[in-house]
Amino acid sequence: MHDPMLTVSVPDEAARIALGALPGDVRVLVWDGVGEIPPHGHEIEFFVGRFNTRPRRETLESLPRLQVVQLVSAGVEPWLSVVPKGVLLCNGRGVHGGSTAELAVGGMIAMLRGIVPFAMAQRAHRWEQRFTEGLDGRRVLVIGAGDIGTRIATAVRVFGANVTLVARRSRPGVRDVSELRQLLPSQDVVALAVPHTDDTHHLVDAEFLAALRDDALVVNVSRGGVVDTEALVTEVLDQRIRAFLDVTDPEPLPAGHPLWDAPNVLITPHVGTIRGWEERAYRLVREQILRLRDKEELVNIVGERY
């Protein structure tokens, strides 16, 4: 007999609490997909997963009613090989976009305005007044025109930057990625806001970096693997370009890695997400659950060419 309940699985008790009260025909299980399947587990239709803790594909394939795997992260790379065929994979687009874009712009401003040298001078009790750069009039290339990329573009335009958006498909206001190499030599800042896929792995390689003008700034808030770290190290050690990195490859960055002491580099430890993200994330999850229950179209569906 078909169970009329919609069964949902969330990864931990904190997630269940963040989800809040749901209609009586929605059953919530606490299970992250690892270990023994709990009672009613084979009834799961909606599975909420963590970015860094994944079940085996065989486990998800053993759930006969599974329709949706919902993540609370924008990135889905580790899940692409886990989600069974025919099951929708949805991400957390919009949950972390504002905070990650904010960090990207903050990193740009910190580098252009010389905040780190000023902070070092403060610690030494030195009044070192000097003019710095700013975003006004800078040419900023944003690679990735999704939630994060468009927010970065919107923000830096407020400060007078001339922005070019690039994505894998052109559309009004967005250039095609095939034009990238022609655009690079004229840019002052390049911000990376793309997922890490086969197409974007080491997108920023030695050739890419060599095409940039001297003293250009590379901002990476996407994934470490989008940048060829060895090529980046060569350029920053030569002090030809600058970088703000919230993500690195490898990650965490080992204590002895040359990027730590490289001049003109500012590193934050993958902190694009801010406090309170759980409330935003599980508001989205709740909406998705109700859409599935009411047979409405879900949002944030990840396509084949994510």
pLDDT digits (tens, 9 = 90+) for 38-57: 999 999 999 999 877 899 99
The separation between the first and the last C-alpha atoms of the chain, rounded to the nearest angstrom, is: 37
Integer Cα distance of 145 and 172 in angstroms: 11
Per the model's pLDDT, the better-predicted residue between 305 and 12 turns out to be: 12
Q: Hey, what are 1's tokens?
A: 């007999």
Given the residues 270, 283, 291, 293, select the one marked as catalytic. 270
Q: Which of 47, 51, 55 has the alpha carbon at shortest distance from 7? A: 47
Q: What is the pLDDT of residue 2?
A: 46
- Report angle CA 253, 257, 260 to the nearest 5 degrees: 80
Reading the block at residue 193, the tokens are: 């806001």
SS in 3 state form for 97-115?
A: HHHHHHHHHHHHHHHHCCH
Of the candidates 264, 265, 270, the one whose C-alpha atom is nearest the C-alpha of residue 251 is 270
Quote the pLDDT of residue 3: 58
Over residues 244-256, mean pLDDT:
97
pLDDT at residue 304, as a whole number: 52
Average pLDDT along the chain = 94
Is residue 203 pLDDT above 80, yes or no?
yes
| Phi, then psi, of 30 in degrees rounded to 5 | -100, 105
DSSP state of 244: E
Annotated active-site residue in 179, 207, 230, 251:
251
Q: Which of the following is catalytic: 96, 223, 242, 280?
A: 223
Query: For the stretch 26-54, what's the b/e string if a residue is b when 16 or more beta carbons lie within 10 angstroms of its beta carbon?
Result: bbbbebbbeeebeeebebbbbbbbbbeeb
Has 251 been annotated as catalytic?
Answer: yes
Nearest by Cα to 264 from 111, 140, 132, 157:
111
**pLDDT above 60 for 277:** yes
pLDDT digits (tens, 9 = 90+) for 133-174: 999 999 999 999 999 999 999 999 999 999 999 999 899 999
Is the peptide bond between 4 and the residue preceding it cis, with omega within 30 degrees of 0?
Answer: no
Contact present, 229 and 206 (Cβ < 8 Å): no
- The neighbour count for residue 193, using CB atoms within 10 Å, is 28
The DSSP string of 155-213 is HHHHTT-EEEEEESS-BTTEEEGGGHHHHGGG-SEEEE-----TTTTT-B-HHHHHHSP
Q: For residue 78, name the pLDDT band (cuts at 50, 70, 90).
A: confident
**Does the annotation count 223 as an active-site position?**
yes
Asked if 56 is an active-site residue, the reply is no
- Distance between alpha carbon 24 and the CA centroid of its chain, in Å? 35
